[in-house]
Chain A
Amino acid sequence: MNGMIRRYTDSERINHWIVAILFILSGLSGLALFHPATSWLAGLFGGGPWTRVLHPFFGVFTFVAFLAIMARFWHHNMINQNDRKWLTMMGDVIANRDAAYPEVGKYNAAQKLLFWTLVTCMILLFVTGFLFWRPWFAQYFPIGVVRLGALVHSLVATVAIIAVIVHIYAAIWVKGAIGGMTTGWVSEKWARVHHPGWYREVTRR
């Protein structure tokens, strides 16, 4: 395609959207079990008992699909010196100011932090979820572990949901980003402005 650069392959995009759909299902069903104000969300899943049955399965499938994403994008997310400098310029980034940013590769420092936040959250959610999964696993753990599991699960889920809200807004904010993940293509200019290091790398070939 003229003036366009391939950012995500078909399988990367499909993988991303499988994780996205499952994460939303896990998140909504989890919120239904979390606070009275969001109890009504249980209706989306066929009522309370179905929500209780489905939520852990949504969670496990999210984790499995996320593992694939994690393996694909792990090496793009190593934090380097440029990232540390970039983070000090977050004020300029948020204000849409064109400043002398250090060179950004495939992902900028905020995207990398989001990646590692989600990696940590997913692992913790997966492990703690088993500790109070009824009727299959909860009875094998001492009550103190079950309680701690429930607390940590809800704390980490809150962090994960906030991280994903930031992720979704950032995709809306940076025009062209959603196109990258839906069609797989971004404009050359988009790549040059937002990810110059990555742009150099892919155009050198």
Chain B
Amino acid sequence: MASLQSLDIKQRSATTTSSPSVRRQTEVSKLIDVSKCIGCKACQVACMEWNDIRDEVGVNVGVYDNPPNLTENSWTVMRFTEYENTEANRLEWLIRKDGCMHCADPGCLKACPSPGAIVQYSNGIVDFVQENCIGCGYCVAGCPFDVPRISRKDNKAYKCTLCSDRVAVGLEPACVKTCPTGAITFGSKEDMIEHGQERIVDLKERGFQNAGLYDPPGVGGTHVMYVLQHADRPEIYHGLPNDPSISPTVSLWKGAFKPLALLAMGMTALGGFFHYIKVGRYDVDAHAPDEEHEEEVR
């Protein structure tokens, strides 16, 4: 298997020429309505079932989050936050399904040094192609959402694929299929934005004045979006970044600096070559008079 949708590739890691992209697909998106989530974790189960991966059985760490973090075997995790809403004087249980956001401008892909180890399909899905993965972890450094995990077993990076294999054949992701409350929906990005807006109107009527859609422009928008009751403060949802973007450090490292560095190395070598052509070597025998030799001549 190379990449799953071989003609639909928008971007490919560590590749400077165009990827096969004759086929244009509709951009898709998953919409997660946090206000409808009951925290049943059926999505976590569906994810491990469809992808046929099993995490280690861990221990209860005192909160509902289980496993406590994303791992190479758990590509989605429910994050539970007990939020004291002081204005409305009530306790809110904010449950966010964490996982890859499938950024339009993916930091992982930008940072990846291995050609074709990360691809972005024209439908917006960002996929890891593990057989091209070298285990360097640059994707971890590039990601603004702390999503990729390197397996200790095989040193390959793993994350949510947005069920690219299911989507490729016209199915919705496994988590969407299984969600019992309809908190997770899937469709074209356009439709999902529209659906999200309807939900936001509804939430505002119910008193959530700051309800809104999380589709952060700093990463060009995402192909996993949230409907948040408190969209003005995404950070209360277990540290969802407020205005995520690719770190300037990563942008500099993987952006302008990279070609300039190669150019500088090449120019230095060329400079040496042309110095050789113009000035040539310094040969002591051809240059400075040899004192001893002069004495002999006299």
In Å, the complex CA distance between A158 and B134 comes to: 22
Nearest Cβ distance between residue A18 and chain B, in whole angstroms? 23
- Chain A's interface: helix, strand, loop or mixed, by majority? helix
CB distance from A111 to the nearest CB of B (A): 14
| Pairwise interchain contact B137-A155, C-beta atoms closer than 8 A | no
Contact with A along B280-291 (1 / 0, CB 8 A): 111111011011
B281 touches A143 (CB 8 A): no
Complex interface bits, B18-50 against A, C-beta within 8 A gives 1, otherwise 0: 000000000000000000000000000000000
Name which residue of chain A comes closest to B253, CB basis: A151
Q: Would B141 and A150 count as touching, CB distance under 8 A?
A: yes
Complex Cα distance, B253 from A187, in Å, reads 46
Within 8 Å CB of A51, what residues of B?
134
Q: Are B275 and A169 interface neighbours, CB within 8 A?
A: yes
A68 close to chain B: CB less than 8 A: no
A148-B249, A162-B268, A172-B281 are known contacts. Are A143 and B135 too (CB-CB below 8 A)?
no
Distance in angstroms from A90 CB to nearest chain B CB is 13
Verify A193–B288 contact, CB threshold 8 A: yes
Determine if B15 is an interface residue (Cβ-Cβ < 8 Å): yes
Chain B, Cβ-Cβ closest to A163: B268
Contact B290 A175 (CB under 8 A): no
Closest to A36 in B: B14
For residue B99, CB closer than 8 A to chain A, the reply is no
Q: Does A189 lie within 8 Å of B285, measured CB to CB?
A: yes
Q: Which 4 A-B pairs have the closest CB atoms?
A: A169-B272, A48-B134, A158-B261, A134-B137
Are B134 and A138 in contact, with the CB atoms below 8 A? no
Contact B114 A34 (CB under 8 A): no
Q: Which residues of the partner chain B approach A172 to less than 8 Å between Cβ atoms?
A: 272, 276, 281
Is there an interface contact between A158 and B265, defined as CB atoms closer than 8 Å? yes
By beta carbon, the residue of chain B nearest A40 is B115
20 CB-based A-B contacts, threshold 8 Å = A33-B136, A34-B113, A35-B258, A52-B134, A96-B280, A134-B150, A135-B152, A135-B155, A144-B249, A148-B249, A151-B249, A151-B252, A155-B261, A165-B269, A169-B269, A173-B275, A173-B282, A175-B282, A175-B284, A192-B288
Residues of B within 8 A of A151 (CB): 249-250, 252-253, 257
The answer to whether A146 has its CB under 8 Å from any CB of chain B is yes
Within 8 Å by CB of B135, from A34, A39, A134, A169, lies: A134
Q: Known interface pairs A39-B114, A162-B264. Does A34 touch B258 (Cβ–Cβ under 8 Å)? A: yes
Contact between B14 and A135 (Cβ–Cβ < 8 Å)?
no
CA distance A48 to B136 in the complex (A): 9
The answer to whether the Cβ of A190 comes within 8 Å of any Cβ in the partner chain is yes
Chain B residues near A33 (CB-CB < 8 A): 113, 134, 136
Decide if A4 is an interface residue (CB 8 Å cutoff): no
B residues 136-158 near A (Cβ < 8 Å) are: 136-138, 140-141, 146, 150, 152, 155
Most buried by A among B134, B257, B268, B275: B134
Is the Cβ of A193 less than 8 Å from the Cβ of B275? Answer: no
CB distance from B277 to the nearest CB of A (A): 12
Q: Which of B235-288 contact A (CB under 8 A)?
A: 247, 249-250, 252-253, 257-259, 261-262, 264-265, 268-269, 272, 275-276, 279-285, 287-288
Quick one: closest A residue to B136, CB to CB? A52
Contact A36 B15 (CB under 8 A): yes
